[in-house]
Amino acid sequence: MAKLTHLAEAGQAYMVDVSEKPATDRIARAEGHVAMRKETLDLALAGNSKKGDVFAAARIAGIMAAKKTADLIPLCHPLALTKVIVDIEPDAALPGLRVAAEAKVSGQTGVEMEALTAVSVACLTIYDMLKAADRTMHIEGITLVEKSGGRSGLFRRGD
């Protein structure tokens, strides 16, 4: 069984010392979605949300959240991110909006939490922007899709 890196032998939490690790290029991709009624999706696509542009607000919120991950997740290292992309695509089959994020850094620790935080906050922002029209929306499927770099190398969901 793998050892948890943020717990000491006695069980107390601590921030992992990454100072001896080499800096490598690291990329992580995450995804999730907000399911909603068809009418709510149509409202978002038409740009008629009472609060404004759902897509722009969620995209910016996701990017800002990735940059603030160390402030939100207690044992995350602050990272000098070199890239954060948040994409939002409508999906009529849900119906709803699919959110994907990619975070990149050249550093001593990974960016999985930054990508996951970007997706989470973008989904929460979509909910906030549209909740006046649809309180039945739900957020699902937030997951790490892929990560590369570092000692553990490449991970792809489903491999």
| 138-148 and 83-91 beta bridge pairing | unpaired
115: how many CB neighbours lie within 10 A of its CB? 30
Render the burial of 34-46: b for 16+ CB within 10 Å, e for the rest: bbbeeebbebbee
Q: Tell me how many degrees the CA angle 114-115-116 measures, rounded to the nearest 5.
A: 90
- For residues 104 and 63, give the distance between their C-alpha atoms in angstroms, rounded to a whole number: 12
Residue 36 and residue 132 in contact, taking contact as beta carbons nearer than 8 Å: no
- Annotated catalytic residue 17: no
Q: Is 90 helix (H, G, I), strand (E, B) or coil?
A: strand
> Exactly one of 42, 87, 128, 134 is catalytic; which is it?
128
Please count the other Cβ atoms lying within 10 Å of the Cβ belonging to residue 86: 26
Residues with catalytic function: 128
